[in-house]
Amino acid sequence: MNNAEARGRELFKDGFYCAEAVCKATAEGQGMDHALIPGMATGFCGGMARSGGPCGAVTGAVLALGLVHGRVDPEQSARPTYDAVRAMMRAFEHRFGSTNCTELLGVDLDTTEGRKDFEEQNLASKCIDFTGAAAAMVEQILKDAAARSADTNGP
């Protein structure tokens, strides 16, 4: 288990939700941690605020990749971010079969019954796995991008 994966899992176990934990783990690993980071990700947790949408670990990874590779000037290309996000989404879907929260968990978190099933089936253990894996995927994508940059900008 790499540092990002372990930290993402730890943050989830400490009470941060999926998207918050992935963003925070990545930010810490990049020396960019800020008090706003978990809060900006909160609405993405639970499949986009329990709406049954994309997995929060995936959307947290998208936010984390944007934090590192995102544009700071409208003249910059969005391509590096798009490429990184698409690579992460492919890797996540390949590993888990989906990027959708409801499909991954098999319950609808927007219902009382779904939340009850989530608790009774200990589905948080799956979310810990999704969170750790997404954080690890982001870390690997960032390492690969840095290595490519070093290769093209070397001596």
Compute the radius of gyration of the chain from its Cα atoms: 16
∠ Cα 119 1 36 (to 5°):
65
Given this model, what pLDDT does residue 149 score? Answer: 76
* Below-70 pLDDT ranges, the chain: 1, 151-155
Given this model, what pLDDT does residue 1 score? Answer: 62
Given this model, what pLDDT does residue 145 score? Answer: 86
**Phi and psi of 100, rounded to 5°?**
-100, 130
Residue 54 DSSP SS3: strand
DSSP string, 85-100: HHHHHHHHHHHHS-SB
As a whole number of angstroms, the distance between CA 5 and CA 10 comes to: 9
Q: What is the pLDDT of residues 14-27, one digit of tens each?
A: 999 999 999 999 99
- Find the length of the chain: 155
Distances (CA, A) of 94 to 85, 135, 137, 144: 14, 15, 12, 19
pTM above 0.95, yes or no: no
